[in-house]
Structure 1
Amino acid sequence: MINRIIKPLLCASSLLALAACSMAPHYERPDAPVALNETAQSEKMAADIGWRDFYRNQQLQTLIEQALENNRDLRVAALTVEQVRAQYRIQRAQLLPTLNATGSGTRQRVSEAISETGESYIAEQYAAGVGISAYELDLFGRVQSLKNAALEQYLATDQARKSTQLSLVAEVADAYFTWVSNTELLSLTENTLKARQDSYAMVKRRYDSGLASELDLSQAATALHSARVDAALYQRQLATSFTALEVLVGTSLDADNLQTVWNDEVMLADLPDAVTSEVLLQRPDILQAEYNLRSANANIGAARAAFFPRISLTGSYGNANPELDNLFDSGTRAWSFSPQITLPIFAWGANAANLDVARLQKDVNIAVYEKAIQTAFKEVRDSLQSQSTLDAQLEAQQDLVTASARSFELAELRYQRGVDSYLEVLDSQRSLNTAQQALITMRLAKSRNQLTLYKALGGGLQEHTADQETNQVSFIP
């Protein structure tokens, strides 16, 4: 008997849920706010290059691996994805009726005043069965729209996790490069300090012998103390950059075991020369913005469905008997079926306001989506434009260091022979030191530009480079 009543009810409810119409507008991807390049793609996209193949330095690879395992921000992002996924499962479950088993018992004394026999007595009632409570027939797609919105939110959250991973990989690389640069700057400053200590000792001997003036001695002392100040400054910067690297990696590091020498050949790999801007649409942050837009579009369907009747079903089937021992005897079967329809008449504009909110939220998400595309386009364009100028600037800076070193060498010889004053030596030494510092900074800027371009093109999600045939990007509708 239970199968003849409950099973048809469940099947009918499921069919109604599947056949429900949707009030959500047809989704169309907004036009890009920038002109996308339609040129042919290169054989390998930057997003297809694994971070182990792009970041060639073994120590940096180890740091990135540790960060992916221990970083708290990435852990929070992953847990948030699981949380939103559970919320989607909750919303999806509302499409089908919930079947509950119930059992109840009542025992009460009926007073003489209300007893039909004029005598008090003890009344008992026991029941057991299964039932469906307030299941909504989704005739106008309200529950379906809410389920679709929850699904898009889940997908958006997953893309946010991927964006967090992209940022983390780039930040670890940037922090490592910054630490290496600060190490080289401190080493350069310590060498400069040692040279100026030797220069001061030399000038002091010449001063004591009457071959140098007090002005020369004061200038040498000024240069020495300036180098001491710089050494303290770079020591502080080095400690700060190392702490930042430890925070990103999420564990303690041993600075003595990290490489402190810059080697351009083993730091970064080259990126593809030809890049189509259509690739930007597959960036996690842009996909996140689009999923949020699709979620807002689905919420419009739920807001529209609120103007139409809402039908809910409540039913039960089981046994009832005044005696617990005979609860499941023949003749004790009982059932109930209670449909309910609710039609909004006067909501004082609440439903219309909810619809306006849903539409405005969609407009907001369109603007956010367009802004994400503009930001991605700017990041890629700026990095590409900076690439050639940074190469030329780095080459020129290297030539400047060579020329400054020769100038300093000649200035020292001329001073030792009494041709020029010590001020010429200080100027040449200062120029050489500035050029060497700028060279280190320029190497850091070039590496930062490369890793920024790699991140801007969506690189950093995969550990190893994927084959072009097996890594086609697909959009989840």
Structure 2
Amino acid sequence: MNNNLNCKYSYIGVLVLFLFLISSQAIAQKLTKDEAIRLTLENNFGIRIATNNIEVAKNNKGILNSGYLPSLVANAGANYQSANSTTSFPGVTERVPVAGTTDTITRPRPDIEIEGAETQRYNASLNLNYTLFDGLGRFYNYKRLKEQYNLTELQARSTIENTILQLFTVYYEVARLSENVEILEETLRISRERVSRSNYQFEYGQNTKLNVLNAEVDVANDSINLLNTKQQLINTKRDLNVILNNDLEKEFEVDTVIQFTPKIVLDEYVEKAEENNVTLLQNKSNIRISEYDIKVSKSGYLPTIGLTGSYGWNENRNPPSAFFPGNIADTYTLSGGINLTWNLFDGGNTVTRVKNARIALDNQEISQNQITQEVKRDIANALGNYKNRLNVYEIQQQNVLTNQNNFERSQERFKLGQITSIEFRQAQINLILAETNKNAAKYDAKIAELQLLQLTGQLLNIEF
């Protein structure tokens, strides 16, 4: 008997442990803000493309693409020829002795036939070319490539900032919907209690069937609101998984705690915004590139001086001919030289390039004035929006306290039968609206702060 009980308890213990493990695995993992940023920086498609673009710009600004290194070209060749030849001597005679006598006879000179005469030629050479001076074109082009690398970094930074802002826009939407789900779950719980209470009161003759039906209608409405909000939350989590490049169905919970940047720090960021705004920095980089373009174009006015050098080897293997014996000839050559090229007039191409480069620079400077004005306007608007949303959030916080107090009083009076179910429901709806509006105001204020921080160039330098 005891053995059976021990086995039974052991089985129950194993079952409880198994259910605990399953429930532990079912609990969604907490996705912190720092973890979300890390995953985005590592996996986001747009950021990965921007990182690759930086690598391309880094390669372009390297010494191997500068034009400062010489070119060394190796050439080699081999040629083989096999020929059959016949040499005739028309009208030419020769005297040859008669065998066994001292006499000679005259006969035509016979043809000389050579079959399979092989001719072989081999050659190899190294040719060196180096530009000593090209009118400073490569010097300024090298500087231009370095500035292009800086511009690519700024473009990548802009991509990262936009992606981080997009990340937290969706992240905080998940947080808002998560809190709304909790509010609606609590609302549904209270509405179900109200149905139970109404049924008891109806059974004991203290209530009418109409109150029961009203309570059931409210439960149905609360259930629908909860289902819709949960579906919105699921969809928004998928949106966040796309940004993180996660599995679309990966489940997680987010951090709903919000910390705002202190006002004194924010004021300092706004004061130095023109020094750090990524759009203004990109425009300044474009201006420097345009200045280098002018100098590169002007290099066409100056001469080009270059060095050349070569070392070569040739070998000819000639077969014997009708008149000469075969021979092998080896030749080694070493040569060097300096050349100067000066395009005194190129049909006006250089003049046109210089003029167009100056116009491009002028356009960049005009664009800088326009962008500066727009950035100032955007910062002023963003700062105003942030302050306004922060004030709205503070008002909504107080509004929640007021409606919470009103609901608790209404709930007590409803239990005592001092107010109708309609009045109680109205107090409940007011509390739901106040709480959801407070959540929306909280995250709207935080997103407005992030937009302001992006414009001041500090989005990547703060703690989230």
Name the count of aligned residue pairs: 397
Check 1:299–1:245 CA distance in 2 against 1; reply closer, same or farther (3 A cut): same
- Output the CA distance in 2 between the equivalents of 1:61 and 1:101: 55
Q: Which residue of 1 aligns with 2:421?
A: 422
Structure number with greater CO (CA < 8 Å, separation at least 6) is: 1
Q: Which residue of 2 aligns with 1:62?
A: 35
Q: Which residue of 1 aligns with 2:381?
A: 382
Q: Which residue of 1 aligns with 2:50?
A: 77
Give 3-state SS (helix, strand or coil) of 2:126's partner. strand
Structure 2 counterparts to residues 119-138 of structure 1, below 5 A: 125-133=121-129, 138=133
Check 1:401–1:278 CA distance in 2 against 1; reply closer, same or farther (3 A cut): closer
Note if 1:270 corresponds to 2:269.
no
Q: Which residue of 1 aligns with 2:229?
A: 234
TM-superposed CA distance for 1:425, in Å, is 1.8
Is the Cα–Cα contact under 8 Å of residues 132 and 313 in structure 1 kept in the other structure?
no
Is the Cα–Cα contact under 8 Å of residues 149 and 295 in structure 1 kept in the other structure?
yes
Q: Which amino acid counterpart does residue 247 of structure 1 have in structure 2? A: V
Q: Which residue of 2 aligns with 1:470?
A: none
Q: Which residue of 1 aligns with 2:310?
A: 317
Structure 2 counterparts to residues 357-396 of structure 1, below 5 A: 357-396=356-395
- Output the CA distance in 1 between the equivalents of 2:186 and 2:329: 96
Q: TM-score, normalised by structure 1?
A: 0.69
Q: Which residue of 2 aligns with 1:190?
A: 185
Q: Which residue of 2 aligns with 1:41?
A: none
Check 1:122–1:146 CA distance in 2 against 1; reply closer, same or farther (3 A cut): farther
Is the Cα–Cα contact under 8 Å of residues 95 and 138 in structure 1 kept in the other structure?
no
- Output the CA distance in 2 between the equivalents of 1:175 and 1:183: 12
> Which structure has the larger Rg over C-alpha atoms?
2
Q: Which amino acid counterpart does residue 234 of structure 1 have in structure 2? A: T
| % same residue | 17
Q: Which amino acid counterpart does residue 321 of structure 1 have in structure 2? A: N
Give 3-state SS (helix, strand or coil) of 2:311's partner. strand
Give 3-state SS (helix, strand or coil) of 1:317's partner. strand
Structure 2 counterparts to residues 33-432 of structure 1, below 5 A: 59-89=32-62, 92-107=65-80, 125-133=121-129, 138-206=133-201, 212=207, 216-251=211-246, 258=253, 262-264=256-258, 267=259, 270=262, 272=265, 274-275=267-268, 277-306=271-300, 308=301, 311=304, 313=306, 315-323=308-316, 332-335=332-335, 337=337, 339=339, 341=341, 343=343, 345=345, 347=347, 354-355=353-354, 357-432=356-431
TM-superposed CA distance for 1:436, in Å, is 0.7
Is the Cα–Cα contact under 8 Å of residues 91 and 150 in structure 1 kept in the other structure?
no
Is the Cα–Cα contact under 8 Å of residues 165 and 460 in structure 1 kept in the other structure?
no
Give 3-state SS (helix, strand or coil) of 2:68's partner. coil
| Structure 2 runs not aligned, ≥5 long | 1-29, 86-112, 318-326
Give 3-state SS (helix, strand or coil) of 2:458's partner. coil
- Output the CA distance in 1 between the equivalents of 2:344 and 2:156: 41
TM-superposed CA distance for 1:406, in Å, is 2.5
Q: Which residue of 1 aligns with 2:94?
A: none
TM-superposed CA distance for 1:435, in Å, is 0.3
- Output the CA distance in 1 between the equivalents of 2:422 and 2:335: 106
- Output the CA distance in 2 between the equivalents of 1:229 and 1:73: 38
Check 1:367–1:196 CA distance in 2 against 1; reply closer, same or farther (3 A cut): farther
| Structure 1 runs not aligned, ≥5 long | 1-56, 113-118, 466-477
Give 3-state SS (helix, strand or coil) of 2:135's partner. coil
- Output the CA distance in 2 between the equivalents of 1:436 and 1:416: 23
